[in-house]
Amino acid sequence: MVDNHTWMENGKCMECGAKEIDGLSCYEMFQFPLVWEHNATDLYALHFWLVSCYMIQHPSNYTEEGYNLLVNLFTEAYDNEWPTDYILQKNRELVSKINKITNPLPNNKRKRISRNWSMTIEDIYLGGEEHAIEKIKKWKEQVRIDLEK
């Protein structure tokens, strides 16, 4: 299964390793918590972490410079426990200094590297809306740990 954001092969994402669930790619599963955020402000407060965890696990969607910016911002924000407002401010500053964030290559021309992640969007989706907050908090911790490997 191929969509504009992921490449699923044999029921698994080629990059993050998430398994296809309910016929959904990892990108399609990612849409669910984005909708759930509209129902709960405390969940929406984790938007940066939800999006950045997903993005970090799909580097083919970004230029090398854009990806490195994201990983550095994520790491600094996590390690220094930055509040969301500050993270967003720093993101705007950093993004304004680079040329291109998203990968201009068509989806089928992008280089994908498979990596074993401790958690993926599959875990958030399977946990459902009622467990999304705890799962996203755990996901950001696991991504931070996995980035050290």
pLDDT tens-digit map of 87-138:
999 999 988 888 888 888 888 888 898 899 999 999 999 999 999 999 999 9
pLDDT at residue 1 is higher than 60: no
**pLDDT grade, residue 2 (50/70/90)?**
very low
pLDDT at 7 over 90: no
Q: What string of H, E and C letters represents the secondary structure of the chain?
A: CECCCCEEECCEECCCCCECECCECHHHHHHHHHHHHHHCHHHHCCHHHHHHHHHHCCHHHECHHHHHHHHHHHHHHHHCCCCHHHHHHHHHHHHCCCCCCECCCCHHHCCCCCCCCCCCHHHHHHHCHHHHHHHHHHHHHHHHHHHHC
Sign of CA dihedral 96, 80, 49, 5: positive
CB-side neighbour CA atoms (13 Å) of 131:
11
Q: What are phi and psi of 7, to 5 degrees?
A: -130, 110
Token output for 139: 């996901």
- This prediction has a pTM of 0.91
Q: For the segment 45-85, what is each residue's pLDDT rounded down to a tens digit?
A: 999 999 999 999 999 999 999 999 999 999 999 999 999 99
Instruction: Give the tokens for residue 53.
Output: 């965890």
- Distance of alpha carbon 34 from alpha carbon 28, whole angstroms: 10
